């Protein structure tokens, strides 16, 4: 399991809390030709395809079950406790969609699910805060480069907060997971204005995930 190392991480953020495939080609490739031939009648020749598509960016905005395009890797890691996610593929695709929708490139993101004690230890060691929290986000990438990060989530804290807030466990879990990505995308919550925008974006993606 990857873990934060003080000599390398640049940003540490803590909280208080089947996307469409997009493939861009400047020049038509043999891969994209094969893909087009899969869905377009076979009499269309290479010359015609290059004439139509050769000078333009192709946007394939349709989910194709037999094809998975990874612009980055995203992993769920259970550190002694499981969040019991029901549909991991759907959720991973949606998390990648958030990056895409925010126009932020990512290379690697690990979600590490742990208990209160483990997250408290990290919070104390790296932030000097001897308090419980639901999430810590560690960014390892330089500004302007694709995101490489780890997001640590206390499953215990999420469950307790869902009871306190009188909301379901899964909506609270998803909200916290989206919260971490939004931080990586540049959103902050240091003042009231930023907190309102963060909550607005959390609600936007939560509603989009739960009701689409």
Indicate if the pLDDT at residue 208 is higher than 80: yes
Question: Which of 51-65, 80-94, 129-143 is the least confident region?
Answer: 51-65
Q: What are phi and psi of 152, to 5 degrees?
A: -100, 130
User: Domain for residue 190, yes or no?
Assistant: yes
Mean pLDDT score of the chain, rounded to an integer?
A: 75
Task: Identify which has the larger pLDDT, 46 or 176.
Answer: 176
Beta strand 106-114 with 147-154: parallel, antiparallel or unpaired? Answer: parallel
* Residues of the domain holding 128: 11-20+67-210
Check residue 91 and give its pLDDT. 96
Residue 50 pLDDT:
40
Number of compact structural domains in the chain: 1
Asked if the structure places residue 4 within a domain, the reply is no
Average of per-residue pLDDT across 152-159: 98
Q: Which DSSP string corresponds to 51-99? A: HHHTTS-----S--TT----SSEEEEEESS-----S-HHHHHHHHHHHH
Q: Do the domain assignments include residue 199?
A: yes
Q: CB-based contacts of 165: which residues, under 8 Å, 6+ apart?
A: 172
Q: Which of 31-45, 103-117, 138-152 has the lowest mean pLDDT?
A: 31-45
Q: How far is CA 59 from the centre of its chain?
A: 21
**Residue 141 pLDDT > 70:** yes
SS3 159: helix
More confident position, 9 or 75:
75
What is the CATH classification number for the domain harbouring 88?
3.40.390.30
In a domain? residue 28: no
Instruction: Tell me how crowded residue 141 is: count the other CB atoms within 10 A of its CB.
Output: 18
3-state secondary structure of 26: coil
pLDDT at 196 over 90: yes
Position 133 pLDDT exceeds 90: yes
User: The whole model's pTM is what?
Assistant: 0.68
Provide the pairing of β-strand 11-14 with 135-139: antiparallel
Kind and range of the H or E run holding 184: helix 169-184
Burial (CB < 10 A; 0-12, 13-18, 19+), residue 72, is middle
DSSP string, 91-146: HHHHHHHHHHHTT--EEEEEEEEE-HHHHHHHIIIII---S--SEEEEE-SPTTSP
pLDDT at 185: 95
Is 110 domain-assigned?
A: yes
- Whether 34 maps to a domain, the answer reads no
What is the reported pLDDT for 135? 97
Confidence at 212, pLDDT banded by 50, 70, 90: low
In a domain, 38, yes or no: no
């Amino acid at each position: 399991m990857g873990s934060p190392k003080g000599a390398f991480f640049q940003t540490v953020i803590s909280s208080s809390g089947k996307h469409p495939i997009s493939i861009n080609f400047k020049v038509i490739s043999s891969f994209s030709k094969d893909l087009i031939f899969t869905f377009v009648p076979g009499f269309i020749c290479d010359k015609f395809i290059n004439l139509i598509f050769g000078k333009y960016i192709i946007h394939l905005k349709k989910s194709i079950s037999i094809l998975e395009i990874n612009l980055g890797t995203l992993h769920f890691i259970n550190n002694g406790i499981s969040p019991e996610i029901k549909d991991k593929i759907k959720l991973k695709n949606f998390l990648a969609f958030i990056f895409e929708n925010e126009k932020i490139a990512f290379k690697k993101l690990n979600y590490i699910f742990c208990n209160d004690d483990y997250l408290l230890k990290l919070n104390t060691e790296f932030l000097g805060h001897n308090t419980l929290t639901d999430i810590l986000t560690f960014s390892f990438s330089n500004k302007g480069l694709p995101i490489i990060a780890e997001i640590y989530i206390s499953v215990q804290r999420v469950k307790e907060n869902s009871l306190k807030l009188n909301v379901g466990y899964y909506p609270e879990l998803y909200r916290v997971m989206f919260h971490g990505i939004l931080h990586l995308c540049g959103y902050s919550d240091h003042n009231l204005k930023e907190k309102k925008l963060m909550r607005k974006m959390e609600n936007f993606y939560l509603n989009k995930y739960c009701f689409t």
